[in-house]
Amino acid sequence: MSLAATIKRLGAFASCDIGDALVKLKYPYGGFLDGIHMWSPAHRSGTQKAIGQAVTVKMVTMSDTSAPKPDRHFAEIDARTMEALRNGKDIGGAIKRFRKA
């Protein structure tokens, strides 16, 4: 089954149903990511559901030598993929600046 067909079928379920199924499949925390809210197409409005592949991104300072160094920049991910962005320690408004770019 294609990814688009899978996402269409999953769209019929509430997020808690999908989370319960993931828990039964022993997926960590049922796929739950705390504190996430939608910014697009409009910030926290409407009845949109977010279903699909996601990439998590943690902003860190360039001087953080312990941070992983991915092969690609996070802005180069597939346009159909959701991003969960988080500011690291001492980053301030990095996400806000990125959104305006």
Determine contact, residues 37/45, Cβ cutoff 8 Å: no
pLDDT at position 98: 47
pTM over 0.85: no
Averaged confidence pLDDT in the chain: 73
For the stretch 17-29, pLDDT in tens is: 877 888 888 877 7
Residue 96 has pLDDT above 50, yes or no: no
CA 68 vs CA 26, 61, 65: distances in Å:
27, 12, 8
User: For 61-89, what is the mean pLDDT?
Assistant: 77
